[in-house]
Structure 1
Amino acid sequence: MYQRFRTIAEKYPDRIAITGEHHSATYRQLSEEAATLASLIPEGAVVLIALPGGPHFTAIQLACLGAGAVAVPIPDKSTPREIRNYLALIRPDWVVTDAIDNSRAFTDSPVTLLCLREEEGGGAISEHHRVLIWAQVMDSRTIPDFPDPHGAGLPPETAMIQFTSGSTGRPKGILLSRDNLRACLENSHAFLAGFSGRDIFCPMPQFHAFGNAVVLEHLLNGSPVHLTNRFVPGDDLRRMTDYACTGLFCAPNYIRLLMQLNVLTPENLPALDAVCMGTAAADQGLIRNLREQLPDADIWLRYGLAETVGTLTRLKIPAGKTLSHPGQVGRPVPGTEIAPGLLRPDEGPPGEIRVRSGVVGLGQLSEPGHWTPLANEAGFFATGDLGYMDEAGQLHLRGRISTFIKRNGFRVNPFEIEALLRDIPGIHEAVVVGIPDPLSGERIVACAEPASEVPDTPALMKICREHLSAYKIPQRFMAVEKLPRNPAGKPDRPAIRSLAG
């Protein structure tokens, strides 16, 4: 993977490789920074990346590939509570952040802190920590007496840990190998070749599985990638126009927002000829409205998971066409097999989708140094998604087995929010559910059973903002005198969802 990037960089040294809102890098610049960092990071080191998407994030991830280290991206706006949850599973050797002050939550154990900028003020950094500033590292190119990695107990082929929501209220760490990353490129070779050398725009966070895959896939095929870390429609439109972006890779909700503003038109974006959506199902109404605004563009729908690098199935909706069936996500990409036995709607209830592919991750971290394989002995991974295959070999999604909430392309774990709410004085029990929403996919509704007087909505919102990322914060709080329960005495989620809806 790293050598492939170096080859592309040598071929197109002066071509823009990647941009963010405030920084850009050519292939030569990105290659030089990645090479410098790769020469410093020890093999096997665990490198936690808490940066906004863009050139710096990409340079450190490429450096990890070159050094044989393990890249661990997390949201750059993670709260201290969320950081503690990540650190309960991994012990990083390096932590890369925007500024020194932002690194203080990571300093419970000795690490090397690499910061983009230096700020005065804040609490002291432990004397056991080595603090490096990005520009100084690039100038000196040497770090004497670098400590050996802690030893993470991970499989030696691990290249990356992708965090996603877990069923216990804590995130789960998916172990991805170099072979997984290579399979991602190989399985989508024909699709990616169609974008080679063409600029694309991606508003998905780079720490997100989809956003990260888009960057690596296209960067290693010679396509300049333009990222944004916040939704500012005017800026996004300007950058897509300035760079003559031909492809837009995003979540369905991003398309809905642009269409509401009536800016997603050929007049505003004359170079745009392809839209690719992932992270959540796109409904027929959305595709129909998008087709009205972009009649000549190709529309692609992608199905993938955090546990699988890149794409499992892909559907092309050519110019002039719309989505023929709800939940349709296309045929498996080359190198991917879907286990037989999925029943069509007229044959019975939907079954769980199981896949076998080189993109299925190695395993899942259950505790530090301990992991369990994702695939069974036959090589199939149970996705947790329900669906069926039609006569033409197209996969159709029919929902999920689990209780995860899909909001704005993010998979939100209700148990994490519930655990926070139960710690609040006055709340006896809390259940968080997702309610269908045409704009965001699902609204997050928190239902609380009081033990005494429950704090009001502003107070609850304040607590959630302090401890949760923005996309996890409930849009509505409900006080319910007695939550519905099933015969086992557990909260009845379907009944509570009906109550909240």
Structure 2
Amino acid sequence: MTTFATTPHQANSGLRVDLNAAAAVERNARYQADTVVVRYAGGDLTYAQLDDKAARLAGVLAAGGVVDGDRVAYLGLNSSSFLVTMLAAFRLGAVFVPVNFRLAEAELEAVLNGSGATALICEEGHRPTADTMRGRTSLARFLLVDDDTEAPATDAVGWEAWSPLLASALPVAGVAAKGADDPAILMFTSGTTGKPKGVVLTHGNIWWNSVNVELRLDTRRGDVTYAAAPLFHVGALNSFVLRTLVRGGTVVIRRGFEPQACLDDLVKHGVNSMFGVAQMFAALARVPGMFEADLSGLRSVVVAGAPVPPSLISLYAEHGLLLQQAWGLTETAPFATHLPAERTLDKIGSAGIPMPFTEVRVVDAATNRCVEPGERGEIVVRGPNVTAGYWNNPQANQAAFDEDGWFHSGDIGYLDEDGCLYIVDRLKDMIISGGENVYPAEVERVLSDMPGVTDVAVVGIPDEQWGELVTAVVSVDDPAAVTVETVHAWAAGRLARYKLPRRLTVVPVVPRNASGKLDRVVVRRLADEES
């Protein structure tokens, strides 16, 4: 168990406060035991049941050798088991490693090895992949979730079914006390542009993001939040879910996002808060009766992870629903900026203003000096919600943090005269065509509003004459109606000529990762195949 060293004058300063979310859940189990904390098709849980199950799993893990500081991995879709595993790890002072269930075998092996996890809790659907690498990792314990009707499991050689272990386990009494600098979660970046990096999120990072959210958004005790975006992504987990557990509210968990089911849940459960990416809200808007449904309880709707078409924001606003844009990364746990609800329309397209306890600047990437309002540069962030660093990766830390502690995001943006941030693109995604800088996200925003286009990605393809050609990969309603010529006709008055796509590739689905971000590696491959 962690202990805190203090000097006498710190005794009443609050510096010794325990920030472990598992302690808050244990407290809620004591004072509101019968409140339903998890609504899930595989079985609802009260606070008492959630805390007891986490304490029992902690006992199982401890019996297998897991101690303070060890890593415990979870591989599976959204479920109550995800939360139980996280809280059990926290209870022991271990670090929780939520694994992207969409990873290929080599990527999964890299994450498990990179984390040094010694225990893996897994769902049946992902067990075969985990089996292929069990001898090539540090894993010593393999537990299979077998009590979830949404993820039926069968006996498997080399795996321990967790339900009989939980039933007979001695619950771990008490929760390891954790301070602001103690690691809580090891979350790996998506890795679509290179090898995934392990981002260390401390208990303090989690706490301060929650404080930022509470000061900026309309969240309340007892709120119902909706979780259909993947919980292994920091946006879904730490926007509302973790804070809801701490504050005594209810989390409606769905294994994945399905538009009609989402609408039904929002109405049935009187959902108050929700995190999602733009594609989720675009799909939800197409559900018949969406804007006639009673969504009066929905106060805080955050959309992030990828650029949001202004037309989508306007559509929701016309029906009294304000999509609140935010910007951040895994490294900022997740929010660095947020656009207040009341500014949704007059600052449409903006990612908002810095969160209350977070500093945000835009600097010249070469000199690190702040640029003037309206001038583009790299976005840098500093604050208690910013990661402590990358796991066992001093080179990445040196590249990401400057000597004054600013985290360099790699995103390009600008601040307007009112201090509102606008995201332009990723620094490394910029296209140089004929000597001109073209930012793919700028072109994507324009094309996403084109009638008939359902999704779009823009990349640069090598070209002898121009250096790179601006190339659009799109999914459309009618392939015959969207051509290079119709795209030019639509965008000509909205974009400079050198920004217009020279090539167009139509695909059934534009590749995105689980965070809703474009998978530009796959997009470039699709564009290359058509060139």
Counterpart amino acid of residue 345 in structure 2: L
| Number of residue pairs the alignment of both structures matches | 417
Structure 1 segments, 4+ long, off by >6 Å, are 444-449, 468-471
Partner residue of 2:434? none
Q: Please report the TM-score for the alignment, with normalisation by the length of structure 2.
A: 0.69
1:256 matches 2:285 = no
Pick the aligned partner of 2:51 from 31, 54, 59.
Answer: 31
> Any idea what the Cα deviations from partners look like across 1:172-211, whole Å, max 9, x if unmatched?
1111112212222222233466332121213210001101
Distance in 2, matches of 1:53 and 1:262, equals: 26
**Cα gap change, 1:479/1:241 in structure 2, threshold over 3 Å: closer, same or farther?**
closer
Distance in 1, matches of 2:104 and 2:192, equals: 20
Check conservation: 1:356, 1:380, Cα contact below 8 A: yes
**Cα gap change, 1:311/1:361 in structure 2, threshold over 3 Å: closer, same or farther?**
same
Pick the aligned partner of 1:103 from 123, 127, 130.
Answer: 130
Check conservation: 1:79, 1:469, Cα contact below 8 A: no
**Cα gap change, 1:44/1:105 in structure 2, threshold over 3 Å: closer, same or farther?**
farther
Distance in 2, matches of 1:469 and 1:279, equals: 6
Counterpart amino acid of residue 35 in structure 1: A
> Any idea what the Cα deviations from partners look like across 1:126-148, whole Å, max 9, x if unmatched?
xxxxx4322112111159xxxxx
Which range moved further: 210-219 or 99-108? 99-108
CA shift at 1:317, angstroms? Answer: 2.6
Distance in 1, matches of 2:77 and 2:168, equals: 24
Distance in 2, matches of 1:192 and 1:272, equals: 12
1:73 matches 2:133 = no
**Cα gap change, 1:52/1:172 in structure 2, threshold over 3 Å: closer, same or farther?**
same
Partner residue of 1:135? 163
Partner residue of 1:303? 327
Counterpart amino acid of residue 332 in structure 2: T
Partner residue of 1:16? 36
Partner residue of 1:443? 457
Distance in 2, matches of 1:277 and 1:114, equals: 34
2:371 is paired with a residue whose SS is coil
1:329 matches 2:351 = yes
CA shift at 1:270, angstroms? Answer: 4.4
Structure 2 regions of 5+ residues with no counterpart?
1-19, 147-151, 172-179, 363-369, 432-439, 464-506
Identical amino acids, percent of aligned pairs: 24
Distance in 1, matches of 2:344 and 2:288, equals: 19
CA shift at 1:166, angstroms? Answer: 4.3
- Bigger proportion of residues as strand: 1
**Cα gap change, 1:89/1:476 in structure 2, threshold over 3 Å: closer, same or farther?**
closer
Pick the aligned partner of 1:45 from 66, 70, 83.
Answer: 70
CA shift at 1:20, angstroms? Answer: 3.5
CA shift at 1:308, angstroms? Answer: 1.1
Distance in 2, matches of 1:444 and 1:172, equals: 25
Partner residue of 1:114? 143
Distance in 2, matches of 1:304 and 1:469, equals: 12
Partner residue of 1:176? 201
Q: Please report the TM-score for the alignment, with normalisation by the length of structure 1.
A: 0.73
Check conservation: 1:202, 1:227, Cα contact below 8 A: yes
Distance in 1, matches of 2:217 and 2:348, equals: 26
Distance in 1, matches of 2:237 and 2:161, equals: 24
Distance in 2, matches of 1:370 and 1:45, equals: 23
Partner residue of 2:482? none
CA shift at 1:441, angstroms? Answer: 5.9
Distance in 2, matches of 1:116 and 1:13, equals: 24
Counterpart amino acid of residue 353 in structure 2: R
**Cα gap change, 1:441/1:7 in structure 2, threshold over 3 Å: closer, same or farther?**
farther
1:187 matches 2:216 = no
2:313 is paired with a residue whose SS is helix
1:219 is paired with a residue whose SS is helix
2:244 is paired with a residue whose SS is helix
Check conservation: 1:42, 1:69, Cα contact below 8 A: yes
Partner residue of 2:241? 215
1:342 matches 2:356 = no
The RMSD of aligned alpha carbons is: 3.6
**Cα gap change, 1:34/1:313 in structure 2, threshold over 3 Å: closer, same or farther?**
same
